[in-house]
């Protein structure tokens, strides 16, 4: 059979697939660790990690091994029956993150929808909010997925255009604005506050150091659930097990340092919960919140399936065994220092921001310009894959298994590209 080229494969997708994405024109065939290869055999550094899903590196042998072993034995029972993998996973993941209960789902958006449902039901049954009156506070610039309910509270015009009517019950406030949160909490029937600890899709917007802790205090004082969407920031990406851990110094495991850690009432996880090997997401909460969910009220045929359970355990064990949070913390500091050094010698980049190995550079051009995308195309030609967000921001998020030597090689590629680039 004739080997299809990248051009051939892109053409096939264009003809037969919905045009709901605009990928960089590289067709990948294989991945291992921090590297991927295209169909022509060219090697690249992956500096996106499938939007932080591949924190443990591509095709991690322990994770893939767990998936294959379980797939050979039992893949799916639905939740009509028990299986021998789900219970041990539920015990493992709740103890790992320090919660009483977990509700397993598949995708990040599903998990966010689940958290919204739990929050609303808790508000009616525990807080006493009148039926159908619950409101959830969200932040401008948020990205929680693209389901109908989620885009209802997005302020991205592309995500919303011609998808209405939208779901009511949400109040939008500026991100990183405690005064706005305090004011919103004064309204009647507030059930929860849904927030990304760091806004990834918005361009790696890191809030003030005290923002999350004070937001939680405000929520607690008002009897409102604090809901942390850690689908992108969780699982060691930011140099801590969770972004709600703050700028911590924990070693190997989450120590929940009271000086930095903020305990969510509901925690949402996805992406790297499986190391990118399989769709796995989770909503975690303590009994007082999770006990409002009863049989028949929420679920998923695939949620908590045996393969997902085994994969997630292996993925989290890799995080611990390979000290990925510590590595992300250390390399992230090096990376931002190097970017700041590069920035001093160019007017093409305004700033770098981030935490751990979730970082972004701000391109000195408008959001509707092609400059950031053009830079990413040049980076691709030089052997590094990244994608812009919000037009003039390039997000850099390599797998957390990266070594310092590999990171410095990537820094050299970025520096070379920027030095040669002309708007």
Backbone φ/ψ region at 83: left (φ over 0), alpha (ψ -120 to 50), beta: beta
Cα–Cα separations (whole angstroms), residue 285 to 143, 201, 255, 265: 21, 25, 18, 6
**Of 77, 152, 76, nearest to 113 (Cα)?**
152
Pairing of strands 190-195, 43-46: unpaired
Q: Which pair of structure tokens corresponds to residue 109?
A: 């958006």
Are 262 and 246 contacting, i.e. CB atoms less than 8 angstroms apart? yes
Catalytic residue among 229, 335, 387, 396: 229
Q: Is 253 a residue of the active site?
A: no
Task: Tell the residue number behind the tokens 């957390």, with chain if given.
Answer: 400
Catalytic residue among 143, 193, 226, 302: 143
Backbone φ/ψ region at 174: left (φ over 0), alpha (ψ -120 to 50), beta: beta
Catalytic residue among 271, 310, 380, 387: 271
Q: Is 347 a residue of the active site?
A: no
- CA gap 55, 319 in Å, rounded: 9
Q: Is 271 a residue of the active site?
A: yes
Residues belonging to the active site:
143, 229, 271
């Amino acid at each position: 059979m004739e080997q299809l080229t990248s051009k051939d494969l892109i053409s096939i997708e264009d003809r037969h697939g919905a045009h709901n994405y605009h990928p960089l024109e590289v067709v990948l065939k294989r991945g291992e660790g921090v590297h991927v290869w295209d169909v022509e055999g060219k090697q690249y550094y992956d500096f996106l990690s499938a939007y932080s899903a591949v924190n443990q590196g591509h095709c991690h042998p322990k994770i893939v091994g767990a998936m294959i072993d379980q797939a050979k034995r039992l893949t799916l029972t639905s939740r009509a029956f028990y299986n021998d993998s789900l219970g041990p996973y539920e015990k493992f993941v709740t103890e790992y993150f320090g919660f009483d209960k977990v509700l397993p789902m598949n995708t990040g958006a599903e998990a966010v929808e689940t958290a919204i449902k739990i929050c609303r039901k808790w508000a009616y049954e525990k807080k006493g909010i009148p039926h159908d009156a619950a409101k959830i506070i969200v932040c401008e610039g948020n990205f929680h997925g693209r389901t109908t309910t989620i885009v209802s509270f997005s302020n991205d015009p592309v995500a919303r255009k011609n998808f209405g009517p939208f779901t009511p019950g949400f109040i939008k406030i500026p991100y990183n604005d405690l005064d706005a949160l305090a004011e919103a909490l004064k309204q009647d029937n507030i059930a929860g506050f849904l927030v990304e600890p760091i806004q990834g899709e918005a361009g790696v917007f890191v809030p003030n150091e005290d923002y999350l802790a004070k937001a939680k205090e405000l929520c607690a004082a008002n009897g409102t659930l604090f809901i942390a969407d850690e689908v992108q920031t969780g699982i060691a990406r930011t140099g801590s097990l969770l972004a709600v851990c703050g700028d911590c110094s924990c070693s190997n495991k989450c120590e929940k340092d009271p000086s930095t850690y903020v305990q969510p009432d509901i925690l949402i996880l996805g992406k790297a919960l499986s190391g990118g090997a399989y769709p796995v997401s989770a909503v975690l909460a303590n009994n007082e919140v999770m006990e409002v969910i009863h049989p028949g009220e929420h679920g998923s045929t695939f949620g908590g399936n045996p393969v997902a359970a085994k994969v997630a355990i292996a993925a989290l064990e890799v995080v611990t065994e390979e000290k990925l949070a510590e590595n992300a913390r250390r390399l992230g500091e090096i990376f931002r220092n190097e970017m700041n050094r590069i920035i001093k010698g160019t007017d093409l980049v305004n700033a770098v921001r981030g935490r751990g190995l979730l970082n972004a550079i701000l391109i000195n051009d408008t959001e509707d310009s092609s400059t950031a995308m053009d830079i990413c195309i040049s980076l691709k030609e030089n052997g590094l894959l990244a994608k812009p967000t919000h037009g003039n921001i390039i997000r850099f998020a390599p797998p957390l298994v990266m070594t310092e030597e590999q990171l410095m090689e990537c820094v050299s590629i970025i520096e070379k590209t920027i030095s040669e680039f002309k708007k």
